[in-house]
Chains A and B, each alone.
Chain A
Amino acid sequence: MKIELQNINKTFGSFKALNDISLTIESGELVALLGPSGSGKTTLLRIMAGLDFPDSGSGHIMFDGVDVNTQPLSSRGVGFVFQHYALFKHMTVFDNIAFGLNVRSKEDRPSKNDIKDKVTELLHLIHLEDLANRLPHQLSGGQRQRVALARALAVEPHVLLLDEPFGALDAKVRLELRRWLRRLHDEIGITSVFVTHDQTEALDLSSRIAVINNGRLEQIGTPEEIFHKPKTEFVLNFLGEVNFFRGVVGKGKIRIGNLKLEAPEYKDQPEEAAHIFIRPHQVEIITDPKGKNQMAATITRMHAAGSFVRLELKTETDDDLYVDLTPERFEELNLANITNVYVTPKNVLVFIVGKHII
């Protein structure tokens, strides 16, 4: 089901939680709402579900072109998975999953056997066939999360909304469950939106990411677009680590201290102060200086545990610089015994007074 949000505003007292948010989610997509805590992403999700409502008179929420603003959540066909799962504590796993079917009016309620079949099918889907009679507090966090998902899916919703679905889980379970959810989405193809503050989760799982900050939509796009072509400094900063320099841009050059980079796209512009960002993996390190396009730097710290080697450097401009190298490159340069090196950025992102140019 296609979801369209138009000009959504939400105020709590004097606090503006959502500021004129418009966004369209295509049928079958898996979209992440990414942002820091307090950014309004959960409020937006709750408004989609009908658990909260936009400020009166503001905006529209359309499901497949039908305005559902005034529809209560029970008739929207939405499955909602809560951050802390909100399983019914006193009910078994089976009864939790069957709840949505059991509360239907007599005419719509499937027969006891049909409900049993449906729940068994869902238990199979979440790999918890053997735990049907357990109570929620007898399950691990990951198992509870899956039960919450099965419970939401039992009523065959058109849209699945998940609030911080992996927030309360430890790293390993989180990764497993993330992959499993991805596969599940590919299998059943239900339009899904999930809220997260973890950028790797958003990059890994979603087909598109909506970055939200201070109640505003900063950018929406595919993970590649968001990562490689961030539209604002906030998006750039929020998606992965980045090194920050103050520099000057114009007359076909980008300057950071003595380092000069060719930038033909700025040929016709006067020089202006700019914020320059460099991702840690986009820095080349050499041990001998050649030409002018280098900056001298001193290695202050290094650690090699992980799939890459992380170097912490101090540049000649007295800025901190983090660099990630492959272990092979690290060996090749024999950096273990050297402290003075030269660095060249392979790629930079430039913002002039908050305005994006590259």
Chain B
Amino acid sequence: MKFITNIRDYYSQKRKSGPSNLLTEPLWVRIILIVVAICFLALFLVLPLVVVFNEALMNGINAYLEAIKEPEALSAIKLTLIAAAIAVPLNLIFGVAAAWAIGYFNFKGRNLLTTLIDLPFTVSPVVSGLVFVLLFGRNGWFGPFLQEHNLKIIFAIPGIVIATMFVTFPFVARELIPLMQTKGTEEEEAARSLGAGGWQIFWRVTLPNIKWGLLYGVTLCTARAIGEFGAVSVVSGHIRGMTNTIPLHVEILYNEYNVSAAFAVASLLALSALITLAIKTFLERKIDIDILDQTGSKEEGN
């Protein structure tokens, strides 16, 4: 116990005081580095954020609320939330299953699966949107079949959900795989040797261990699902009040020179990003502590 407290003290001390003096560069180098970093942040992150809220409130708070309460905007918000509400839980299940398989088992194609999970990160979202048009569009592979059964995927809500899912599916799995690999399987093996079944092991042992990482993945996944533009833009068809999500609605408003309304709606996205950032920071701390507990308990010896 003493030892763990010490590790924690050590790390928190480290966090407070920064790296040791031995590694410190001369003063002028430090100043340049810090100034460059701050300018960069100000130019690319803080300034745009300020502009968004500034432009949004340009015509006063009433115009701002008006722009958001407008039926087409409300419909876009609703559709975005629906898409996220379907895509995130499905990706949660997929992510946990994939991470479980990759983290705990050795099987043929394990590396291939790991690589494939990253695919949506490497493919341009527009291309992935196009793929779905080619698959489910009027002239696509499944086009005739879908038309026969009077099903509409492209230029309709299902297409938007599918595109959102595709773009966001790596988040949960990517977060969990390294976590599960470092945790190892000892606790699960212990549970099994005590007679627990697969589901019992998952609910009682694995899930409590990965819950913070899982929430972290879900947070990032949700943020991306809400903000996704490229893939959704290709499959949506931009039908106002029907297949417009928040980012698409912002684009339309902006193209119509309705700048203040565009920024008003965009401010919702900015707000969601800030909330995500806060949640993310909180979860990262929790995960850090979890990992400390893990390594602490293995190294300690008294």
A residues adjacent to B (C-beta < 8 A) = 49-51, 73-74, 78-80, 82, 84-90, 99-100, 103-104, 136-142, 144, 151-152, 154-155, 168-170, 173
Binding site for A on B (CB under 8 A): 1, 4, 186-187, 189-197, 200, 204-205, 208-209, 293-294, 296-298, 300-302
Q: Is B302 a contact of A169 with CB atoms below 8 Å?
A: yes
Q: List 7 A-B contacts (CB under 8 A).
A: A88-B187, A89-B187, A137-B297, A138-B1, A140-B1, A169-B302, A173-B302
- Interface centre among A89, A104, A136, A144, by most chain B C-beta atoms within 10 angstroms, is A89
Given contacts A103-B194, A103-B197, A138-B1, contact A169 B187 (CB under 8 A): no
**B interface secondary structure, majority:** helix
Bound CA span A51–B197, Å: 14
Asked if B195 and A89 make an inter-chain contact with CB atoms under 8 angstroms apart, the answer reads: no
Q: Nearest-CB distance from B19 to chain A (Å)?
A: 27
Smallest CB separation, A47 vs chain B (Å): 13
Chain A residue nearest in CB terms to B290: A89
Determine if A169 and B4 form an interchain contact, defined as CB atoms under 8 angstroms apart: no
A79 — nearest CB in chain B belongs to which residue?
B193
Across the A-B interface, give the 7 residue pairs with the lowest CB-CB distance, nearest first. A100-B194, A86-B186, A86-B190, A103-B196, A80-B193, A90-B208, A74-B195
Q: Are A137 and B194 in contact (CB under 8 A)?
A: no
Residue of A nearest to B294 (CB): A89
Residue of B nearest to A99 (CB): B194
The one of B205, B293, B298 in contact with A88, judged by C-beta atoms closer than 8 angstroms, is B205
CB neighbours of B296 from chain A (8 A): 137
Cross-chain contact B300 with A141 (CB below 8 angstroms): yes
A88-B205, A138-B1 are known; give 4 further A-B pairs, CB within 8 A. Answer: A80-B193, A88-B204, A104-B195, A169-B302
Contacts A137-B4, A141-B300 hold; do A86 and B189 have CB atoms under 8 A apart?
yes
Q: Assuming the A-B contacts A99-B194, A103-B196, are A89 and B293 also in contact, with contact meaning beta carbons closer than 8 angstroms in the complex?
A: yes
Q: What CA separation (Å) do A46 and B293 show in the bound complex? A: 26
Out of B4, B195, B297, name the residue touching A103 (CB < 8 Å).
B195
Q: Is the CB of B194 within 8 A of A155?
A: yes
Q: Let me know if B195 and A155 touch, CB within 8 A.
A: yes
B198 to chain A, nearest CB (A): 11
Q: How far is the CA of A104 from the CA of B296 in the complex (A)?
A: 31
B residues within 8 A CB of A142? 302
Are the CB atoms of B302 and A74 closer together than 8 Å? no
Chain B residues with CB under 8 Å of A104's CB are 195
> Which residues of A sit under 8 angstroms from B294, Cβ to Cβ?
89
Least distance between A3 CB and chain B CB atoms (Å): 16
Q: Name the one of B195, B209, B301 contacting A141, with C-beta atoms under 8 angstroms.
A: B301
B204 contacts which chain A residues (CB < 8 A)?
88, 99, 103
Tell me, rounded to whole Å, the shortest Cβ–Cβ distance linking B191 to chain A: 7
Q: Which of A78, A87, A99, A173 contacts B196 (CB 8 A)?
A: A99
Q: Name which residue of chain B comes closest to A144, CB basis.
A: B297
Complex Cα distance, B191 from A80, in Å, reads 10
Q: How many angstroms from the CA of A154 to the CA of B194 in the assembled complex?
A: 9
Chain B residues in 8 Å Cβ range of A144: 297
How far apart are B199's CB and chain A's nearest CB, in angstroms? 10
Among the interface residues B190, B191, B209, which one has the most CB atoms of the partner chain A within 10 A?
B190
A residues less than 8 Å from B186 (CB atoms) = 82, 84, 86
Asked if residues B301 and A170 are in contact (CB atoms below 8 Å), the reply is yes
Report whether A86 and B194 are in contact in the complex, using a CB–CB cutoff of 8 Å.
Answer: no
Could you tell me the distance between the alpha carbons of A192 and B122 in the complex, rounded to whole angstroms?
A: 54
Q: Are B195 and A100 in contact (CB under 8 A)?
A: yes
Closest to A174 in B: B301
What residues of B have a CB within 8 angstroms of the CB of A103 in the complex? 191, 194-197, 200, 204
Closest CB in chain B relative to A10 CB, distance in Å: 15
Instruction: Report the Cα distance A168→B298, complex, angstroms.
Output: 8
Q: A80 to chain B: which residues have CB within 8 Å?
A: 189-190, 193
Query: Which residues of the other chain, A, contact B209 by a CB distance below 8 angstroms?
Result: 89-90
Q: Is the CB of A151 within 8 A of B302?
A: no
Shortest Cβ distance from B200 into chain A, in angstroms? 5
Q: Do the beta carbons of A51 and B196 come within 8 Å of each other?
A: no
Question: A87 vs B208: C-alpha distance in the bound complex, in angstroms?
Answer: 13
A332 to B186, CA, bound (A): 56
- Residue in B closest to A50 when the chains form the complex, CB atoms: B193
Query: Closest Cβ of chain B: how far from A81's Cβ, in Å?
Result: 9
Flag if A151 contacts B194 (CB, 8 Å). Answer: yes
Chain B residues with CB under 8 Å of A170's CB are 301-302
Name the CB-closest residue of B to A100. B194
A73 with B302, Cβ < 8 A, contacts A89-B293, A137-B1 known:
no
A103 to chain B, nearest CB (A): 4
Kindly state the separation between the CA atoms of A99 and B201 in the bound complex, as whole angstroms. 11
With a cutoff of 8 Å between Cβ atoms, the chain B residues found around residue A90 in the complex are 208-209
Smallest CB separation, A204 vs chain B (Å): 20
Contact of B297 (CB < 8 Å), options: A84, A99, A173? A84
Which residues of the other chain, B, contact A100 by a CB distance below 8 angstroms? 194-196
Is A73's CB under 8 angstroms from B193's CB? yes
Complex CA gap A38/B245 in Å reads 59
